Structure formats: structure tokens, C-alpha cells
Structure 1
Amino acid sequence: MRLKDRTAIVTGAGSGFGAGIARKFAAEGARVLLADIDEAAARSVAREIGGTACRADVASAEGVAAMVAAARDAFGRIDILVNNAGVTHLPAALEEVGEVDFDRVFAVNCKSVYLTARAIVPLMKAEGTGAILNVASTAGLSPRPLLNWYNASKGWMITATRTMAVELAPAGIRVNAICPVAGETPLLKRFMGEDTPEMRARFLATIPIGRFSTPEDMGNAACFLCSEEAAMITGVALEVDGGRCI
């Protein structure tokens, strides 16, 4: 029960890594608000773990404000924020990615971190404590070709994590990131362009441990970094990648 009596918001919690993180947090005693643009998916996971669900478009200030209000109504305070919601564009030459796709990737992957920080950091400062976890990617450390703007958005997230950590440490707020390798999530097919045995084999060949990451892997890493066991850890981008970045 490493997160007993703690409250947490997990964005993109209706599926994939976000659902895995929410499940682990609940199992470790946290009260969890599961936010997702797909409210039905969030409610399904929330029912399973005894959490609270809400619809949230984290790329909009209004969506973030509604999410934060829902968390405060449910819990009274916010101890942990997990910025997990993310999207990608289909594999393509960098000059061929459309402006709509580019804007969507940076709105969901980057602007959301700014918007949630603007809304939640003042609340954490008032409490003198807090933990923020950004779900980045190995793409921000060891980029794959044809995913240029997705790679760049995750690199941005890693830099944001480090600068937030330095600035917020005196306020008692820790900020870390995890960097998953490709996993069995709804985004996998978009990363690969097509889900075929040949394409999966190509991806797996770059992971020394020889498998994709799982939501459980991310839940375990997230739980550690957001718990008091990691009280001396801030500003890290933890590779949860089976050796992919070596």
C-alpha cells in the first residue's frame, strides 16, 4: 500500500499504459481520477478499480479545468498527477506529415503538460508537496525514423520534466518521466503503420529483452516514482524499455 491515502489524476487512463498505471495506483491504496477523452473507456476501468472517471480533453484549457474540478470535488486535493495521454502520427517522411497531425501531436503530448501544470502546480505548492509523472517515450531518447514529430514531442516532454523538476523542487514537488518502449496499446498499430508479423518482428528486434512493454510494466515504474520510496528522485527520465536505448 505504497500510495495509501494519496490522490491521483491519471490522464489517458481508459486504455493502455494509463489504465495500467491507474490499476496499480488503486491496488497500492490511491484514490484515482481516471481522465480520458473516451469517457466510456475511463468509466469501464474506474468501475473495475473503484476509481472516479471523467471525460477530459487535456489539450484544451477548459478540459483541464473540468478535470481538476472533478478531482477536487471527489478528493479535496491532488497529490499525484500522471500526464499519460498521448497521440502519434502515422509513419511518414517528416516533410509529408500534415499540419493537422503535427498540431494534434503537440497539443496532446506537449501543450497538455503546460495546461495541467498551470492548473495543478499552484495547488501542490499550497500543500508543499506533490509528484508529477510525465509519460514520455524512448522515442525522445533514441528516435525512430519516420516518426520525427512524435519523437520531437517526447523529447520536449523530457526537457520539460527536467526543467520543471529544478524549478519545483524547492516547493516540495518532484517531477519525473518514464520512457516506455512500444507496447501492446492502441498506439502500437499507428507506430508501426501496419500491424503485421513482419513489422512486429522488426520492432522486437530492437528490444534486447525481446518483448513489448506492458501496462503492468508502466504501472510498476510509475508507482515507484510517485511513492515516498523515490523521495530523493526528481528530474529523471527512467527508461522502461527492455534495453532499447542501450
Structure 2
Amino acid sequence: MAKTEKIAVITGAGSGMGRAASLKLAENDMKLVLVDFNKQTGEETLNLIKKNGGEAIFVKADVTKSEDVQHYVNRAVETYGRIDVFFNNAGVIQKPYLFADIPDEEYDRVTSVNFKGVFFGMKYVLKVMEKQGSGVIINNSSSSGLRVEHSLALYSASKHAVLGLTKAAAKEYADKGIRVNAICPGGVETNLVKDFQETWEETGNVPQIDYPPMGRMGNPEEIANVVAFLSGPGSSYMTGSIIAVEGGLTL
């Protein structure tokens, strides 16, 4: 393996920001381990990378299950020998409910993916990175991790929790050659956001949503550019950093 080659693991790689980041990192000559619950969309990303001359494998996994997370981490090490970059991206958006109306099953769904899934990913990837003495973790939080959103209490709380995990790991592993940062996207044009809008009729609640001062939503490629920066040498003195990529939404 050439010394310049890096290995990146990306969860939620089948669509949206995960797919855009996968394509961007492959463009930067990284070899990728693509992780997604959806086999079809995950393999679509895999085929796009291979079509562009990149190298990758796909691993189907449910990030809420410890054994699945251990499996994709093991596959990465077995295939490529190391993990240099981990984009901990998989997440879901809460259906909009007023706080007291949130069903128990919605609590389980949102916290399992957005908190437990992120925690499991960090836990097992950190073991690999500590052993090799280097690595970069980028957690995908949200502008909702920097402020609260109306009718999205669980989502906001879960994304605040991602920032807590980020800072805790950054402090504990800073002297072990491992950097841990988080990005906080605002509204981004993805299928996840489109599906969220369809839930308004289902719950009978329309959330109060602010529009960013820049006057538009972001696109996945703009998020991917920040992921690429945090993955590279230009961010070598950054750890525990929380990067807002939201068109000024949190101002």
C-alpha cells in the first residue's frame, strides 16, 4: 500500500451527505468502506465510486446494533488494514411532535440511531485508531445541536448529545494521535429532508422552521467539502471543534 493512501469509513453512505462525502473522499484518492442499512442505495454509491475509478467495498449494517458496528469495523481492518478517517454520518430526523405528544417508539427510533449509533461507531473505531496511533473522526451533528428546533425535541437533544460525545472523545484521545471533530449542517437538500416534510400531515403538526440568512438550503456537496477538509492535513491542529455549515442559520 502506498504511504499516501488513506482508508475512510462512512456510515449512511447510500444517500445525501454520506454519498456526497464518499464521492469526494474517493476523488481525493481514499479507499472507502461504505456502510448503510439500505443495500440497494449503498451499492449504488459503490458503483458510482468504481465508475469514477475509485476503490471501495460496501457493508450492510444497522448502526444501532453493536454487533453490526463491530462487523463493519472488522471488515474495514480485514480489507485495508487500518482506518484513517471515520465519517460518523448515519442519522434520522424525528417526526414533528410537541414534546408531550412524542410516542415512546419515536423516542426509541431517534435516540437509537442518532445517539447510540454514533456512540457505537466511535467506540469501536477509536479502538482501531488508538492501536495504530492516528486517525480522524468526523461526527455529523446538526444546526439542531447548536440550538433547539420547534417540535423536534428528540432530534435536537440527540444532536446536542453528538457534540458531547465529540468533545469527550477529543479530550481523551488528543494525546494519542486522534482528532475528533463535528459538523453541524443546517437544512440540506436530501431525501431525508423531503421525507421529513411528508411527515407533517402524518402527525398533524407543522414545525416552525427558520430559513437561513443566505436565503437557500445547502447541498450535500457543500457538506462533503467540509468533511474533506477535516479529513486532511489542513485541519491538523483541530480537535473538539464544532463546525457550523448552515448558511448562517444559528446566528
TM-score by length of structure 1 reads 0.92
Cα distance in 1 for residues equivalent to 2:34 and 2:213: 33
How many equivalent residue pairs?
238
Contact 1:5 1:30 in 2 (8 A): yes
Contact 2:69 2:120 in 1 (8 A): yes
What does the per-residue CA deviation read over 1:175-226, in whole Å, with 9 as the maximum and x for residues that have no partner?
A: 000000011112213544449xxxxxx85x6201111111101110001011
Q: Deviations over 1:147-172 (max 9, x none)?
A: 01100000000111111111110111
Equivalent position of 1:28 in the other structure: 28
Alignment partner, residue 188 of structure 1: 193
Match of 1:199 in 2: none
Within 5 Å, give how 1:50-199 maps onto structure 2: 50=50, 51-192=56-197, 193-194=199-200
Partner of 1:198: none
1:115-163 per-position Cα deviation (integer Å, ceiling 9, x unaligned): 1222121111111100000000001112210001100000000111111
SS at match of 1:234: coil
The one-letter code of the counterpart of 1:11 is T
Q: Taking structure 1 as reference, are residues 4 and 185 closer, same or farther at Cα in structure 2, changes over 3 Å only?
A: farther
Aligned CA-pair RMSD: 1.8
The CA distance in 1 between the partners of 2:111 and 2:130, in whole Å, is 27
Q: SS in structure 1 opposite 2:191?
A: coil
- Look up the match of 1:7: 7
Is the contact made by 1:5 and 1:31 (CA closer than 8 Å) also made in structure 2?
A: yes
Secondary structure (helix, strand or coil) at the match of 1:33 reads strand
State the match for 2:18 in structure 1: 18
Q: Secondary structure at the match of 1:31?
A: strand
**Structure 1: gaps spanning 5 or more residues:** 196-201
Q: Which amino acid aligns with 1:161?
A: T
4+ residue runs of structure 1 moved beyond 6 angstroms?
none
- Code of the residue aligned with 1:22 in structure 2: it is S
Q: 2: CA distance between counterparts of 1:88 and 1:101? A: 10
Give the distance between the partners of 2:162 and 2:247, measured in 1 at CA. Answer: 21
Alignment of structure 1 residues 35-46 onto 2, 5 Å: 35-46=35-46
CA distance, structure 1, for counterparts of residue 23 and residue 148 of structure 2: 29
The CA deviation string for residues 14-45 of structure 1, in whole angstroms up to 9 with x for no partner, is: 00111011111001111011100001111111
Distance 1:163 1:32 in 2: 26
Displacement, 1:112? 1.4
1:4 CA drift (Å): 4.8
User: For structure 2, which runs of at least 5 residues remain unmatched after alignment?
Assistant: 51-55, 202-207
Structure 2 letter corresponding to 1:124: M
CA distance, structure 2, for counterparts of residue 105 and residue 148 of structure 1: 10
Answer whether contact 1:92 1:146 (CA < 8 A) is retained. yes
